[in-house]
Chains A and B, each alone.
Chain A
Amino acid sequence: MLKVEHLHLSINQNAILHDIQFEIKEGEIVSIIGPNGSGKSTILKAISQMIPIDEQVVFLQGEDLYHVRSKERSKRMSVLFQSNEAPHDLTVQQLVEYGRTPHKKWFQTLNIEDEEIIDWAIEQTGLEDFRHRFVSSLSGGEAQRAWIAMSLAQRPKILLLDEPTTYLDIAHQLQLLELIHRVNRDFGMTIVMVLHDLNQASLYSDRVCMIQKGKIVKYGTSEEVMTRELIRQVYHVDCDINAHFKHGRPRIQWIGIAEGD
């Protein structure tokens, strides 16, 4: 589905990303984890062509994204970054309608199919009751769901999310991750998300990509990535790892900052 080959990136002579390579299969949920400033969000920006990158680096369904028109790209790929701000009087319905933009020429208006997709996106995100409310009047969790609804209305094959749970309380975090999981399971939408919480990454992803200082340290299943050694190496934190009593996925118990190295 998505392949990244030899992604290098420097901004003002500072190397931000170094030889990033990975492949994401169709229908997978992949989490990108790593300490602050390790380049996680930058990878999403590079994949979504928000930062100019070279040819032959990012391939979407086998096609070099460098040569794909941005409008064509956004029919197949949606990317949502943190802390979006809508105009204060924009309703949920209007925001979700914008998700249809890539599928429309500038003079076209929404047709029945668009309306159905918009209804579907609002339903999936559980925002039926908020449809005509202003996005700016919603709580953090509801607003985040409204933005995801906009991304869903794009009907992308792959959805990139930059720290979708940041700033949310635990109930809204889990609600959002369940939503992402359901969209992935029911509609086969491939998901790539940057997460901070290692336990959530472990629980909700098919594979995890661990980044440190712009390099991939490990890319594999939760079991392969969530090890005491790697976490100590990347985060300088000691932890214990056991299996989650319900899902069997690795569960990390923090002990403390690692002493010495």
Chain B
Amino acid sequence: MNIKISPSTRIASTSILLLIFIVISIGMGSVYISPLETIQTIFTRSEEMATTIIWDLRIPRVAVAAIVGVNLALSGALLQAVMRNPLADPGLTGVSSGASVTVLAIMLVFPNFTSFVPIAAMIGGTIAVAIVYALAWKKNTISPVRIILAGVAVNAIFGGITGLLSILYSDRLPAALQWMNGSLGGKGMGDVAVLLPYSMIGWVLALFCIRSANLLSLGEKVASNLGENTNRIRILLSLVAVYLAAVSVSIVGLLGFVGLVVPHMARLIVGTNYRFVIPMSMVLGAVVLVIADTIGRTLFAPLDLPAGIIMAMVGGPYFLYLMRKGDV
């Protein structure tokens, strides 16, 4: 790119793009509402039918998509900073599957305790990341390669438990199935009300991680030379990442590739400085998941494809392309 556009301008223009996508997405569906009408209805609530559709059906779903997109992208960006590895994302390290196993256990085995789902997700995710670190900890440092290997093992273990639970409680499975696929269908304002405050805490924490993430990008030894306790900041950043992933998993289930693909796209646009990567990942995460979900629910309408399936179908090839290009 020859024209010099500052990273801040790029983030701002992507944010405007996000707003446009959100408005278009709200209008899309079995009843099409034009963007202009959508904006009108949002602010004036003039026409009853459109107001109901927009406020009760479309907005909650788009809001959940945007918030979850932000969370997963941030979680991926932070994990990538901690592990200095572009492959790190909540899915790959086992954080998401750890969180989903505990959530699934509650849904299937203890259905009366569904209010504990977010806490269970956090516990599951933390257990996963703790196992990953316990396995990756060698010679007083955490080796990125070992983290990835440990993540493979953790994913296998939790995948096994998920399989076991699904077979043992197959009668209760249909209720959990939509959640497991990373579907945003049937989300209401109630879900937004739970998701938003928890997520915002995570966003603020993520902004506090920028400095540490940048220092880690210079390498373990340099960060340590500059007075950082590298293992401590790695644990803190990981916990924020787990928190963000767990909050998302407890509402929408397993949704892969957002945490992997989005930070990578963000780096292509604003460079590697986390001062810009973190905000850009937030905006792009929302953009990507809003688009993925819009495609999911309109492509084979009235069939509602989970956003997780769209992300896997688009994210997988994108990932292969990155590998082929040699960026990963």
Contacts and interface: CB of A to CB of B under 8 A. Distances in A.
At the interface, is chain B mostly helix, strand, loop or mixed?
A: loop
A137 interface: no
B163 interface: no
B225 interface: yes
Contacts of A70: 224, 227-229
Interface in A18-53: 48, 50-52
Interface string B208-245: 00010011011101101111110000000000000000
Interface in A185-235: none
Contact of B225 (A79, A86, A94, A95): A79
A102 B227 contact: yes
B272 A88 contact: yes
A151 B224 CA distance: 12
Interface in B68-86: none
Given A51-B140, A70-B229, A106-B211, A98 B224 contact: no
Given A11-B139, A51-B140, A106-B211, A87 B217 contact: yes
Contacts of B218: 84, 86-87, 95, 98
B264 to A, nearest CB: 13
A130 B227 CA distance: 27
B271 interface: yes
A95 B217 CA distance: 11
Given A51-B140, A81-B221, A98-B215, A87 B227 contact: no
Given A84-B218, A89-B272, A102 B139 contact: no
B142 to A, nearest CB: 14
30 contacts: A48-B225, A50-B221, A50-B224, A52-B140, A69-B227, A70-B224, A70-B227, A70-B229, A71-B227, A72-B227, A73-B227, A74-B226, A74-B227, A80-B225, A81-B221, A84-B222, A85-B219, A87-B217, A87-B273, A94-B273, A98-B215, A98-B218, A98-B222, A98-B226, A101-B215, A101-B226, A102-B226, A106-B211, A150-B222, A154-B226
